[in-house]
Amino acid sequence: MRGSAFCGPKGGRAVFILDRTYDPAELARHNVHAHSTQSNCAKREMTPEAMIRFAQDHGLKTLAITDHSDPFDAIDTYAGFLATRDLLRHIDTPVRVLVGAELSAYGVGKYAEPYEVDKALDFASYSHVHYHLPSWEQPEDRSPRGYAAHELAVLNALLETDRADNIAHPFSPNKMNFFNDAEKAATLRALTDNELGDILQKGERAQCSWELHTPTLFRFPAFARRFFAIGREVGVHFCVGTDAHSLADLAPPDLAQRLAAVLL
What is the span of the domain harbouring residue 81?
9-263
Q: pLDDT class for 184, splitting at 50, 70, 90?
A: very high
pLDDT, one tens digit per residue, over 231-253 is: 999 999 999 999 999 999 999 99
Look over the chain and give the mean of its residue pLDDT values, rounded to a whole number.
93
* pTM of the complete model beyond 0.85: yes
Task: For residue 107, give the 3-state DSSP assignment.
Answer: strand
189 neighbors 173 (Cβ within 8 angstroms):
no
> Is residue 156 classed exposed, middle or buried when 0-12, 13-18 and 19+ CB atoms within 10 A define those classes?
middle
Confidence of residue 6 (pLDDT cuts 50, 70, 90): very low
9 compared with 122, residue with greater pLDDT: 122
Mean pLDDT of 108-115: 96
246 lies in a domain?
Answer: yes
Give the relative orientation of helices 77-88 and 48-57 as an angle to the nearest 10 degrees. 50
**Would residue 99 be called left, alpha or beta, if left means φ above 0 and alpha means ψ between -120 and 50 degrees?**
beta
The least confident of 2-16, 37-51, 113-127 is: 2-16
Does 14 have pLDDT greater than 70?
A: no
pLDDT of residue 233: 98
Q: Has residue 4 been placed in a domain?
A: no
Task: Kindly report the CATH number assigned to the domain that includes residue 61.
Answer: 3.20.20.140
Give the H or E element holding residue 210: strand 209-213
Assign 3 a pLDDT band (cuts: 50, 70, 90): very low
Task: Examine residue 115 and state whether it is found in any structural domain, yes or no.
Answer: yes
d(CA 144, CA 129): 13
| Any domain includes 148 | yes
Judge whether 2 lies within some domain: no
Asked, for residue 216, whether it belongs to a domain, the answer is: yes
What's the domain count of the chain?
1
* Residue with more model confidence, 16 or 146: 146
In a domain, 35, yes or no: yes
The pLDDT value recorded for residue 74 is 82
Instruction: Express each pLDDT in 69-83 by its tens digit.
Output: 999 888 899 999 999
Q: Which residues fall within 8 angstroms of residue 25, CB to CB, at 6 or more apart? A: 256, 260
> How many angstroms separate the CA atoms of 202 and 84, rounded?
32
Smallest Cα–Cα separation from 169: which of 104, 228, 214?
214
Residue 1 lies inside a defined structural domain of this protein? no
Please tell me the predicted confidence (pLDDT) of residue 40. 85
Q: Among residues 49, 60, 61, 55, which one has the least CA distance to residue 2?
A: 61
Percent pLDDT > 90 in the chain is 88
How far apart are alpha carbons 100 and 32 in whole angstroms? 9
